[in-house]
Structure 1
Amino acid sequence: MNSIPIYNLKEFLENLQQNKKSTEGGKTNAKIVDLRPESEFIESHIKSSLNVRVKEVCERLFEFPPKTTDLFVVTDAQILDNTDIDIVNTTHNEKLVACSAEIHSLSDSFIPKCVRGAILVLLKKGWNVKGVVRWTGIGENHLNSNIYQCQLTTGEEYNIIFSPCPQLGKNIKLIEYTLFKNIYLNCEDHALKKTNIAGDAGAKHTATQILNLKVLDVGCGSGRDMIYLGLRNSSVLPRSDKKNLVKLEWTPYGIDYLDYCLDRVRNLSERAHISSKIQLYHARVNGDGVFVPVNRLRNSYGLNIGECQHSDSYIPSTLKFHVGPEAVEELNSSNGFFDLILNVRYLNRKAFSHYHKLLSKNGLIFISTFVAGEGIPKYTKPSGSHVLQSDELKKYWSALNYTILLDSIELLDDGRSVTAFIAQKG
């Protein structure tokens, strides 16, 4: 088994710069996790890297990129070995065995023990850790060099390194363009500009109008799709009026019956500085397909939901969760309110009719969940009623006079098949 390479900062930045030059669009697929203390990260860090304290790694794995991605870990020798926990020995990882040859190769390299433990967790859970970057001091002679200026930045920022639902990410431009065309001007004489996540899509223009789009994520889980949409900064520049830039902004609503998932969404929204635009409902879908409140208002730490102060990744927040019959009934009564409804890796056919009521005119339904049928590779889980048939969605939504914009089947990395389905309400 190969050992994990160790780079000094300058060496890594040179390799990163060279890799960007050799790839299409000047971008690299590698993702970077910076395990240094927050104060050091704010002072200086590699652009687009994610800052995670060592003791938070286990709780924040849902923020990490797909396991097929090349992952690099930034550390320095100043991270103390007594950083509250030794990850290798925590209850999160009782089944982890002795360090592999990969970890052993780091033992004599001035890599702190707690960092080696974090890397072991990532390796055992399947991440492709391609190297460790030792952060070294940047002297004044180097600070003004091009390689540092181009690839380092300062300040407190949250960078997405996770991926949203792949089918959502691939089709977000289609979704945004369709909604703009039908909701804002109901015509085709507009061009959707290049979009960036948390970037400035209209740098050369000033947005004169904002189109707010409301999305409901049913079974939102840890909230990655919600945060992905909430951080988008896309815009539309009409061909007929190139001064009238229209900015598209998403207001995400999420519903989940798992309270600890809502805690994760809340923490994630605080880190991304968009908690003010997030709405969360602690509810489930009943046998009739209608949202109902969940009685258990305690999270995995035994505290009231939203007050998870024993978590290593806890962040004080003013974001309130909507709980109880009145709040959930208000959501149920929001007929024609949502521009987009997401249904990802979840299936309750009874809920489809409820989605229809909640969608606005020209609104979109997006469904990506497991599918089976003739010619589709078989798998064991999920099965039965938890799996769609290959033509099921098209038949159902066509009967409600929806326009089918996308109906395809795609393979996940684990070999299972999922739908990529988008339909528009008439």
Structure 2
Amino acid sequence: MKKKDPYAALRYKEFNVFLLLRFAMVFAWSMQFIIIEWQVYSLTKNPLSLGIIGLMEVIPAIAMALFAGHIVDQKEKKGMLFKCILAFSVVSFGLFLLTWPRMVSGFATNTVLYGIYFLVFLGGLVRAFLGPTIFSLLALIVPKKVYPNAATWSSSVWQIGSVVGPSVAGFSITLIGVHWSMCLVFACSVMSLITLTQIGTKPILNPKIGEPIMQSLKEGVKFVYTNKSILGALTLDMVAVLFGGAVALLPIFAQDILKVGPEGFGVLRAAPAVGALLTMFVSAHLPFYKKAGIKLLGAIFAFGVCIIVFGLSSWFWLSVLALFFSGVADGISVVIRQTILQLKTPDHMRGRVAAVNSIFVGSSNELGAFESGLTAKLMGTVTAVVFGGSMTLLIVVFTGIKLPSFRNLDLQKDLDEHENQE
């Protein structure tokens, strides 16, 4: 078998433009989420308010996901991405205004809070379309033989944005304040629109243009349900992230438990993304394709252990280390999951499969944020984090015992078939 080229996807010019665009969007989105988390908790001092932020985004993301997947499969992908970025720009500009003291000086705190929740809700609508569009556009930029490598680099850039965004947010809140930090987010969204002009219009590969929406949605759900490798990976990751969503409570740890301020908050928020980023780069050279099932189970089990350690820690750097290794474990999970999706999804169904993925995995982050906020309110912050990590461990053990076919999943054969394609 010939040696794999770890930089295969980077040899395509449009893919590099795509990576720059993706970085700008992830940087802006993750920075915005951190700024709003900080602002809302500063206004309320209520952990449940952090959970509500997640809930406001996840409700529209789940409700619109399948419909969005159908639309993405029916439309030209560059045009769809332009509309998504433009809508995000409107949301970020609205949050820029709501965090401007001069603009909201005469408003009641609850009025500002509800305005923020509303804009976060609109952001959830945008995200329902953005995920499937990005996933589908990637497959039109590079040939099939480099899908796995492209997925790894795309995930790496996502992690870079996740590292830099929270870090910049933490420091910019201190240096220039919440309001001007939101101005940086808006500027990034405008830069993304400009970058998108460097990508050409792509063909629509769906042979069923104009297909009735209900029939289209049924076909997408049926495909995921009957493909056990996709279904198993998505379900396992969804439940694990749902109960391991400790990052939603980081403002409480930073302000009230570890007492490290906005700079420490930025470090804590960035730590898991740094770990995941390092894993992504390593995976480009040493892929996790062989025995993917058992490796995915092991990665999520390790993730649960790290969450428990973080919850019990009262030492800042131990907390940072635990979050770092949780990111390493999560990075392995992301690489394996994205490879499964890219290798096993037909071109004409990418939007719908990505939409189902966003329901299972993407939205579980926000549901996890709500679950963490609610359990923190009911049983205390530390207990809630330890509870979530413990549930993650139980779910992994249960899945490994009950689903031996998933435990024995291996992707090497699928990878070899795609690499041999022209």
Tell me the TM-score range normalised by the shorter chain: under 0.3
Q: Which structure has the highest helix share of the two?
A: 2
Structure with bigger RCO (C-alpha 8 Å, 6+ apart): 2
After TM superposition, the score normalised by the length of structure 1 is 0.23
Instruction: Please identify the structure whose Cα radius of gyration is greater.
Output: 1
After TM superposition, the score normalised by the length of structure 2 is 0.23
